Amino acid sequence: MSERPGIMSTLGALIRRDLLLALRRRAQALNPLVFFVIVVTLFPLGLGPEPNLLQKLAPGVLWVAALLSAMLSLEAMFHSDFEDGSLEQLLLIPQPVFIIVLAKALTHWLLSGLPLLLLAPLLALWLHLPGEAILVLLITLALGAPVLSLIGAIGVALTVGLRRGGVLLSLLVLPLYIPVLIMGAGAVDSAAMGLSVGAQLSILGALLAFAVTLAPWAAGAALRISVE
């Protein structure tokens, strides 16, 4: 009798599978990153090269671009598996459904959130952010981007069985993204002005803990409802 695979080994196997599938669809994986770069770089061209103005707008611009980039790649989280029928097979594995959701959210973060974290300092310099604010930007993205992926997983799970559910998905997740946007951009703006950012970072950390604890379970329940 074969031994039942552990949760961590199952989680790792699911992440590897999704990463390999993403490598076969490189263009789809790169679209959010290209979108992020284009949105941020167009602002100085449209507003002019005034450093003080760009520095003032930079926190909001960077965070709004990061949020929209995350939303751009959300629908693919479960859609391809639902279309080819493999999602139903994944739901039959001898592990809780939240493991599947957690693997999908982690893969989404690895493909969208982590590259944004690496690109953000270069684009922040383009917008004349000071060094202290760039460090805070990285911290806020490290805390906030996983929250976007986890919350987005709930919306995708609710709409995966619907045709053209992209608009509904945006309406579902955007209100839940607003606190992350406010805290993230607010922390970077405070750092640029030399103010304390402890409150905003604490709230982002609490949102991350809340999302990690509840979002996989909620998305798992929604996924079963959508597939059935």
* Secondary structure (DSSP) of the chain: -PPPPPHHHHHHHHHHHHHHHHHHTHHHHHHHHHHHHHHHHHHHHHH-S-HHHHHHHHHHHHHHHHHHHHHHTTGGGTHHHHHHTHHHHHTTSSS-HHHHHHHHHHHHIIIIIHHHHHHHHHHHHHTT--HHHHHHHHHHHHHHHHHHHHHHHHHHHHHTTSTTTHHHHHHHHHHHHHHHHHHHHHHHHHHHTT---HHHHHHHHHHHHHHHHHHHHHHHHHHHHHH-
pLDDT, tens only, 140-154: 999 999 999 999 999
Nearest Cα to Cα of residue 141 among 153, 130, 133, 129: 133
Bigger pLDDT: 7 or 19?
A: 19
**Residue 204 confidence (pLDDT) above 90:** yes
> pLDDT-based confidence at 2, cuts 50/70/90?
very low
Nearest Cα to Cα of residue 128 among 187, 190, 52, 40: 52
Mean local confidence (pLDDT), 88-92: 81
**Residue 201 confidence (pLDDT) above 50:** yes
pTM of the model: 0.89
pLDDT, tens only, 155-179: 998 888 777 667 788 888 999 999 9
The domain segmentation of the chain, as residue ranges, is 7-227
**Residue 56 confidence (pLDDT) above 50:** yes
Q: Which two tokens stand for residue 121?
A: 């300092």
Q: Which two tokens stand for residue 198?
A: 């402890």
Place of tokens 């969208």: 112
Q: Whole-angstrom Cα distance, residue 95 to residue 24?
A: 27
State which amino acid sits at residue 211.
A
Place of tokens 């976007």: 148
**Ramachandran angles phi, psi of 122, nearest 5°:** -65, -45
> pLDDT-based confidence at 3, cuts 50/70/90?
very low
Return the top range by mean pLDDT from 132-146, 147-161, 213-227: 132-146
Average pLDDT of the chain is 88
